[in-house]
Amino acid sequence: MALTDTFTKNTKHSGKSGGDKHTDGGGMYLLVNAGGKYWRMDYRFADKRKTLALGVYPEVSLAKARQRREKARELLADGIDPSTAKREEKQAKADAAAHTFALVAREWLAKTAAERADATQNKITSWLEKDVIPFIGDMPISAIGPRDVLAALRKMEARGALDSVHRVKQVTGQVFRYAVAIGAAERDVTQDLKGSLAKAAPGHFAAITEPKQLGDLMRAIFNYTGHPNVIAALRLTPLLFVRPGELRTMEWAEVDLDAAEWRIPGAKMKMKADHLVPLSTQALALLRGMHPATGHGKFVFPSLRTGERPMSENTINAALRGMGYAKEVHSAHGFRATARTVMDEVMDERVDLIEHQLAHKVKDANGRAYNRTAHMPARRKMMQRWADYLDKLRTGAEVIPLRGKVA
């Protein structure tokens, strides 16, 4: 006879050593012993008698136990052992719990760190830790859907970080693709988010490219009053036109004052290749002036708070803002565009030499990439001409306008 809720609730253990069995049909029964009440199901599979645990009463009600029985019977009808299916499901849940988004993301960051410059690694880590992991980090990555990712990205979008939010979406997609590779997820769900985020206004790093305005900027830089380290970094930036992150992490061990060279290791470069920067006499003078102050430490431009870390990434831009140059007018990164434009259009320098010095990939006629020391004598002379040109602009020498424009 089928069991009832009342009977299930009120029945007691009779004291039998093996417990009391109360059947419900279809192989299911309630086992009552001194320890409690347990739902069980007896069945045969591959000519063997087996017992499947369906749960413990009252956590699993009579109705819920019957549902589990019917599911087991369906599996049997399909030739599947319910006990094996239960173990596999339990293992899948354990695997999912062991592969949360946070764990997979951090594993991916560690596995791929050697592919990036330190500054890029730090930026990507910060994005994930601040903008993604707090919202989906505890979820099994296999259970995360497109809407879960979108909800996290929407928070960035709401605060106006339109440039960064698209980068973070790309990085999140890389984490999902890594998860697919290690068997922790089925697919990259960020592919479903195309067109779902607002686009940032097109543009590049703001840069002054008119010689007359560049002369004004150079005078403002030389009139800047602040910390000596900041003054030196600010004056050196236009001379070298490296990326801001490369300048602020400049180390004395990388600088050869006698050879007038700065050798930047590939680990710090965007293109992951070593880069050689010839130092003009003006750049050398600035570095020699810095050496007594910071030469005893690791960084040429150490943090103003502690010498163990490099200068803050916002220091140069903050100095420019203090001089009255808004981010829409000129930026620390913009000195690269300044040099690229003026050296080409005003000074008639060879474009391939400029591209070399910007650490862009330059190939020969056969399509092969030049090495870091290619055309070094010519690049050294070009860097000196550039430094001399900036001095002339600063001191008010005749300004040559851009081609096709009037100064």
What is the reported pLDDT for 371?
Answer: 52
- Residue span(s) of the chain under CATH 1.10.443.10 come to 211-395
What is the reported pLDDT for 102?
Answer: 95
In this prediction, residue 341 has a pLDDT band, given cuts at 50, 70 and 90, of: confident
- Residue span(s) of the chain under CATH 1.10.150.130 come to 101-193
Residue 75 CB-half CA count within 13 A: 17
What is the reported pLDDT for 164?
Answer: 80
Q: Picking from 9-13, 338-342, 391-395, which range would have the lowest pLDDT averaged per residue?
A: 338-342
Q: Is 21 helix (H, G, I), strand (E, B) or coil?
A: strand
Please check the confidence at residue 173 and state whether its pLDDT lies above 60.
Answer: yes
- Residue span(s) of the chain under CATH 3.30.160.390 come to 5-92
In this prediction, residue 119 has a pLDDT band, given cuts at 50, 70 and 90, of: confident
Q: Which residue has the tokens 């002339």?
A: 392
Assign domain 211-395 one CATH number from 1.10.760.10, 3.30.428.10, 2.40.37.10, 1.10.443.10: 1.10.443.10
State pLDDT tens for residues 98-111. 789 999 999 999 99
What's the Cα-to-Cα distance from 267 to each of 119, 246, 252, 310, 373, rounded to whole Å?
9, 10, 16, 16, 17
Task: Report the catalytic residues.
Answer: 243, 270, 333, 336, 360, 370
Please check the confidence at residue 96 and state whether its pLDDT lies above 70.
Answer: no
Of 248 and 88, the structure prediction assigns the larger pLDDT to: 248
In this prediction, residue 178 has a pLDDT band, given cuts at 50, 70 and 90, of: very high
Q: Picking from 53-67, 128-142, 159-173, 279-293, which range would have the lowest pLDDT averaged per residue?
A: 159-173
What is the reported pLDDT for 356?
Answer: 84
What is the reported pLDDT for 110?
Answer: 94
What is the reported pLDDT for 373?
Answer: 59
Of 388 and 325, the structure prediction assigns the larger pLDDT to: 388
Q: Collect all residues with Cβ–Cβ distance below 8 Å to 301 and sequence separation of at least 6.
A: 229, 232, 233, 247, 248, 250, 290, 294, 310, 311
Please answer whether residues 69 and 75 qualify as being in contact, where contact means their C-beta atoms are separated by less than 8 angstroms: no
Q: Chain-wide mean pLDDT for the chain? A: 88
State pLDDT tens for residues 5-37. 999 999 999 989 889 999 999 999 999 999 999
User: Residue 377: is the preceding peptide bond cis (ω within 30°)?
Assistant: no
Give percent of the chain with pLDDT exceeding 90: 59
The hierarchical CATH code for the domain 5-92 is 3.30.160.390
Please answer whether residues 235 and 286 qualify as being in contact, where contact means their C-beta atoms are separated by less than 8 angstroms: yes
Tell me the whole-structure pTM to 2 decimals: 0.50
d(Cα 114, Cα 106) in Å, to the nearest integer? 14
Q: Which residue has the tokens 């990555």?
A: 141
d(Cα 402, Cα 407) in Å, to the nearest integer? 8
Q: Picking from 182-186, 227-231, 366-370, 374-378, which range would have the lowest pLDDT averaged per residue?
A: 366-370
What is the reported pLDDT for 372?
Answer: 53
In this prediction, residue 40 has a pLDDT band, given cuts at 50, 70 and 90, of: very high
Give percent of the chain with pLDDT exceeding 70: 92
d(Cα 232, Cα 248) in Å, to the nearest integer? 11
What is the reported pLDDT for 120?
Answer: 77
What is the reported pLDDT for 366?
Answer: 43
In this prediction, residue 114 has a pLDDT band, given cuts at 50, 70 and 90, of: confident
Please check the confidence at residue 397 and state whether its pLDDT lies above 80.
Answer: no
Q: Which residue has the tokens 């990326």?
A: 243
Cα 321 from chain centroid (whole Å): 27
Name the architecture of domain 101-193: Orthogonal Bundle (1.10)
